Amino acid sequence: MSPILELQNVSRAFGGIKAVNDVSFKLEEGEIVALIGPNGAGKTTLVNAITGVHTPTAGKVFFEGGDVTRQKPFQAARRGLARTFQIVQPFPKMTVLENVAASALFGGHPESLAEAHDHAARELDFVGLGHVAQSPAASLTLPNRKRLELAKSLAMSPKVLLLDEVNAGLNATEIDGALDLIRRIAARGVSILIIEHLMKVVLSLSSRVLVLHHGELIAEGPPQEMVHDRKVIEAYLGPKFAERFQKEMALG
Amino acid sequence: MMARKSPWPLIAMALWLAALALTPVVLGNYEVRIAISIAMFTALALSWNIIGGFTGYPSFSTAAFYGIGCYVGALAQRSGVPAALAWLAAAAFVGGVSFLIGAIVLRLKGHYFAIGSIALVDISRLVVSSWGEVTGGGNGLNVPLLQGRPPEVSALVLYVMLGIMAAAFLANVLVDRSRLGFGLRCIEQNEDAADMVGIDTTRYKIAAYVLSAVFPGAVGAVYASWVGYIDPTDSFDILTTVKVPVMAMLGGAGTLLGPVVGAVSFVLLEEIFWANFLEWNRAIMGAIVVALIFFLPGGILKLDWRAILRRPSRRKAAERKPG
Ligand SMILES: Nc1ncnc2c1ncn2[C@@H]1O[C@H](COP(=O)(O)OP(=O)(O)OP(=O)(O)O)[C@@H](O)[C@H]1O
Ligand SMILES: [Mg+2]
Q: What is the pLDDT of residues A147-181, one digit of tens each?
A: 999 999 999 999 999 999 988 888 888 888 889 99
Least confident of A107-116, A235-244, B132-141, B178-187: A235-244
Mean per-residue pLDDT over chain A, rounded: 89
- Residues B192-216: what's their mean pLDDT? 95
Burial readout B200-227 (b: 16 or more C-beta within 10 A, e: otherwise): bbbebbbbbbbbbbbbbbbbbbbbbbbe
Cα distance between residue B270 and residue B298, in whole Å: 21
- % chain B with pLDDT above 90: 54
Question: In which band, very low, low, confident or very high, does the pLDDT at A190 lie, cut at 50, 70 and 90?
Answer: very high
Q: What is the pLDDT of residues A196-212, one digit of tens each?
A: 888 888 888 898 999 99
pLDDT of residue A47: 95
CB A136 within 8 A of CB A184: no
Least confident of A22-36, B161-175, B279-293: B279-293
Q: What's the predicted TM-score (pTM) here?
A: 0.88
- Residues A115-126: what's their mean pLDDT? 93
Residue A26, strand partner residues: A6
Nearest to A20 by CA among A51, A6, A41, A34: A41
Q: What is the pLDDT of residues B90-147, one digit of tens each?
A: 999 999 999 999 998 888 777 788 888 889 998 999 998 888 777 877 788 888 888 8
CB A19 within 8 A of CB A216: no
Question: In which band, very low, low, confident or very high, does the pLDDT at A184 lie, cut at 50, 70 and 90?
Answer: very high
> Number of folded domains in chain B?
1
A48 C-alpha to center of ligand 2: Å? 10
Give a yes or no: residue B27 inside a domain.
yes
Contacts of B60 by beta carbon, 8 Å cutoff, 6+ apart: B114, B117, B118, B121, B241, B242, B245
Give a yes or no: residue B146 inside a domain.
yes
- Residues A181-193: what's their mean pLDDT? 93
pLDDT at B315 over 70: no
With both helix axes pointing from N to C terminus, report the angle between B201-227 and B62-78 in degrees, rounded to the nearest 10: 50
Chain A, 38 to 57: residues with Cβ < 8 Å from chain B are 51, 53
Give a yes or no: residue B242 inside a domain.
yes
CB B219 within 8 A of CB B44: yes
pLDDT at B306 over 70: no
Q: What is the pLDDT of residues A40-75, one digit of tens each?
A: 899 999 999 999 999 999 999 999 999 999 999 999
Q: Please give the residue range of the domain that contains residue B300.
A: 8-320
Nearest to B59 by CA among B102, B104, B99: B102
Report the SS3 class of residue B260: helix
Give a yes or no: residue B60 inside a domain.
yes
Give a yes or no: residue B303 inside a domain.
yes
Query: In whole angstroms, what separates CA B226 from the centre of its chain?
Result: 18
Rg (CA), chain B: 21
Please indicate whether, in this complex, the C-beta atoms of B189 and A102 are within 8 angstroms of each other.
no
Cα distance between residue A10 and residue A26, in whole Å: 12
- Residues A243-247: what's their mean pLDDT? 71
pLDDT of residue A94: 93
Cα distance between residue B182 and residue B175, in whole Å: 8
Residue A213 Cβ < 6 Å to ligand 1: no
pLDDT at A126 over 70: yes
pLDDT of residue B2: 46
CB A213 within 8 A of CB A235: yes
pLDDT of residue B317: 55
Nearest residue CA, atom 11 of ligand 1? A19
- Which among B196, B202, B302 is the top mutation candidate for probing chain A, defined by the most A β-carbons within 10 Å of its own β-carbon? B196
Question: In which band, very low, low, confident or very high, does the pLDDT at B1 lie, cut at 50, 70 and 90?
Answer: very low
Chain B, 154 to 193: residues with Cβ < 8 Å from chain A are 179, 182-183, 185-186, 189-190, 192-193
Give a yes or no: residue B2 inside a domain.
no
Report the SS3 class of residue A13: strand
Residue A43 Cβ < 6 Å to ligand 1: yes
The closest-lying atom of ligand 1 relative to the alpha carbon of residue A42 is 18
Q: Is the dihedral of CA A187, A91, B168, B19 positive or negative?
A: positive
Please indicate whether, in this complex, the C-beta atoms of B185 and A152 are within 8 angstroms of each other.
no
- Residues B223-237: what's their mean pLDDT? 90
Give a yes or no: residue B3 inside a domain.
no
- Measured CA distances, A64 to A17, A81, A182, A228 (Å): 30, 10, 22, 33
- % chain A with pLDDT above 70: 94
CATH assignment of the domain containing B27: 1.10.3470
Nearest residue CA, atom 28 of ligand 1? A40
pLDDT of residue B16: 94
Nearest to A36 by CA among A170, A227, A186, A184: A227
Classify burial at A50, counting beta carbons within 10 Å of its beta carbon; exposed 0-12, middle 13-18, buried 19 or more: buried
| A83 reaches B (C-beta below 8 A) | yes
Mean per-residue pLDDT over chain B, rounded: 87
Give a yes or no: residue B247 inside a domain.
yes
pLDDT of residue A169: 80
